[in-house]
Amino acid sequence: MSTHPPTRWLRPPPLIRWIGWCLLGAAAVWGGLSVRDKILHLSTGPDDWPVVRSRESGVLFLVGGGHLPDRVGRDFLALAGGHEAQLVVIPGYNVEPEELESYRDEWQSHGAQNVTVLHAASRAEAAAPQFSEALVTATAVWLGGGQQTWFTATYGGTIVEKRLKELLQRGGVVGGTSAGASAVTSIMMAGGRKSEPITTNGLGLFPDAIVDQHFFKRNRAARLMKLVEQHPELIGLGIDEQTAAVIELKTQRMSVVGESYVMAVAANGKSHFPRIEVLKAGDSVTFDQLRAPASSDIPNWLEDAILYGE
């Protein structure tokens, strides 16, 4: 006689079913001797790797791309000082001069009054101290969408990167959307398919995590899980479009605002599976809570779905 309850009690909500299938895809990517043995690579205890800690006291405001809802933009500006915010916007690709004004117009539409747009035509220009003088007095910076490798190729290792870190150290806000959200980490998601995620060095503003964007919209759970397997000391953050992960660096607390979800993945020292939290607007969690061993393994129905496709 089956020990399972009636089928109607086993059917999880659509979002949970989606996550189950994503985990199934991630397990297939890992492959190897057995799915369970590969997943065990994520179950090493927290004493087995160094936990990375940010030293800054500022705030990160990371959006997963797509259209920026007005409420999300206003939440960012409120953290930056509201109408008194000194905002610097840095595009994420080689923008034509006539396009630069549109960046200022967008943020003024969200309520910003003091907006400076920085765009270096070359790495040499970015390295000149006078180019980024606006960052010295800025209360906030917004890294635009485009190509995360543009940020690192143009600004990585320059005085721009140094001044962004100084802004966080004095309690400022660094926000970004899409490519701009991914660029803030030390190990940066640069692209790749599910089975072959590609990473490179980021700007190093946020060494604690690795960020993927357009997350649920583009079905990127498997590649984020793969990277957490490769870097179990980091928290994986999958941020969907029109949604922001707001991270207080000093307290290591993350909260969510916007229209969709953020998925956090952490190596779990107790369970055979990585720890996964899916957060909606209004939810919050600390990185210490994510790193702590879970009190129990994942539900039996989800384990069956991952391991056996049931």
Domains and CATH numbers, the chain: 35-301 (3.40.50.880)
Span 291-305, pLDDT tens digits: 887 655 555 555 444
* 41 pLDDT higher than 50: no
The pair of three-digit structure tokens given for residue 301, joined into one six-digit string: 């129905």
Q: What is the mean pLDDT of residues 223-239?
A: 93
Confidence of residue 57 (pLDDT cuts 50, 70, 90): confident
What is the pTM for the complete model shown? 0.79
Span 150-170, pLDDT tens digits: 999 999 999 999 999 999 999
Q: Do 262 and 246 form a contact (C-beta atoms < 8 A)?
A: no
SS3 (DSSP) at 148: helix
Q: What is the mean pLDDT of residues 60-71?
A: 96
Q: Do 246 and 257 form a contact (C-beta atoms < 8 A)?
A: yes
Q: What is the mean pLDDT of the chain?
A: 82
CA-based angle 202:134:62, to the nearest 5? 40
> Environment class of residue 19 by beta-carbon count within 10 Å: exposed (0-12), middle (13-18) or buried (19+)?
buried
Task: Label the pairing between strands 284-286 and 59-63.
Answer: unpaired
Task: Label the pairing between strands 275-280 and 261-266.
Answer: antiparallel
